[in-house]
Amino acid sequence: MEALGGYPTKTTAQKSRMFTVLFSLMVSVGCLFLLQTKLAKSRKPKDLYSFEVKDAKGRTVSLERYRGKVSLVVNVASHSEHTELNYRALQDLHKELGTSHFNVLAFPCGQYGETEPGNSYDIESFAKTTYGVTFPFFSKIKILGSDPNPAFKFITDSVQKVPRWNFWKFLVNPEGKVVRFWRPEENILSVREEAVSLVRDIILKKRVEL
C-alpha cells in the first residue's frame, strides 16, 4: 500500500517487528548493566586486607600479606605533640608482640596542620633514624575531604569515626575487620591489652590445629 505522494507506508507487522527488536535491545542493555553492577559489587573489598596500597617508596603492595595477623593501623606525623611518645610506644609494642602475629602499620597524613610536611620517603627515614622504628610505613595519604585513601576510608567507615588529629589507632583482627579504635590521648596500655588478647587467640588457634 502506498501513501499519498507515492511513498510506501509501514505495515502493522513491520512496526511490530521494529518494536520487538528495540525492546529486545533495551532488555539486553539493561541486563548487561545489572551484570556489570553485580560484578563491580563482588569485586569491592570486604575487609582491610583486600586492599592494595603504596609503600613509602611508591610501590604497590597488597595488604593481603597481613591476613591472619593482628594489625594496628595508625595515622602518623613527624612533628606532632604526640610524635615522640607514640613512636616509642608503638615501636615497643611492635617489637614485643612480634611480626609473626602482629604489626603496626603507619600511614602518614599531612592534613592536620603542619605536622607532616615531608614526602613519604623522608617521613619513613626520619622515624627510623630518630626513633628506631622498624614497623612498616606506607605512602603519605589523604584522610579528609572528597578523595580519601580507599583503605583508610574502609577503616573510618567501619567505626564511623574520622581522625581529628594524628595518631589515632585502629585495631584490625586477623580477618581484616576493624574491632576498636583509640584517640591519641588514650593510654597505650589499653591498646596493648586488646592487641595481646587477639594475638593470644591466634596462638591458641594454631595450637589446636596442630
Residues 6+ apart with CB under 8 A from 143: 75, 109, 111, 149, 152, 156, 162, 163
Return the H-helix or E-strand segment holding 52. Answer: strand 52-54
pLDDT band at residue 109, thresholds of 50, 70 and 90? very high
- How confident is the model over 31-62, as pLDDT tens digits? 565 655 454 444 566 999 999 999 999 999 99
DSSP type of residue 68: T
pLDDT at 12 over 90: no
Q: Are 67 and 173 in contact (CB under 8 A)?
A: no
Average pLDDT over every residue of 95-103: 96
Unique residue bearing C-alpha cell 595481646: 196
Q: What is the pTM of this model?
A: 0.79
Q: How far is CA 112 from CA 9, 16, 83, 121, 191, in A?
A: 72, 65, 13, 19, 23
Residues 6+ apart with CB under 8 A from 181: 159, 161, 168, 169, 170, 171
